[in-house]
Amino acid sequence: MLGVIFGFTSMLSLVNFGLINIFKLYPIIQKILVFTGSAFLVYLAYRISFSKSSNQKEKLEPVKFIETFLFQFLNPKGVIVAIIAVSTYIESGDNFFTYSFWLLTSAFFFAIFSILFWTLIGKFMRKFATNEKFIKWFNYVMSALLLGCIATFYY
């Protein structure tokens, strides 16, 4: 959980203090990221929608801090959210550091809230995940929600 919280906040800081300047100089890079990220998310929605559940009872190792931390930099949804947040809410000029402080602080607390929420929902949903029909419909709903999120990138 800490890897997600600190990874997303670190990525947002990197975008805020460095990459956003590159995006201002070369806006085509941002557009390329949005389109390639969207294509990846459509593919991900397809894979989720048509995935099969596994009957194998494997003992999985928990994900390590560094793995979840680094995953935030590879997560297209997180990268796109960081780019949109910085380009929307941060002004260059006299208030740059004030706006940056509030954006990063807000993102940190929302990351804590969202990962706790998803962890609790995951714990609750685990008892339903044994029903094949439930898993199938859950995957369809998650795919549709993911596709809905993609639509918001363009409006």
Q: How many CB atoms lie within 10 A of CB 139?
A: 18
pLDDT for residue 56: 57
> In whole numbers, what is the pLDDT of the chain averaged over residues?
83
Mean of the pLDDT values across residues 127-143? Answer: 82
Domain range list for the chain: 2-23+32-48+63-152
Helices (H), the chain: 2-14, 20-25, 27-49, 65-74, 76-89, 96-125, 132-152
pLDDT for residue 13: 93
52-75 confidence digits (pLDDT tens): 766 556 666 777 899 889 888 888
Among 33-37, 110-114, 118-122, the range with the most confident prediction by mean pLDDT is: 110-114
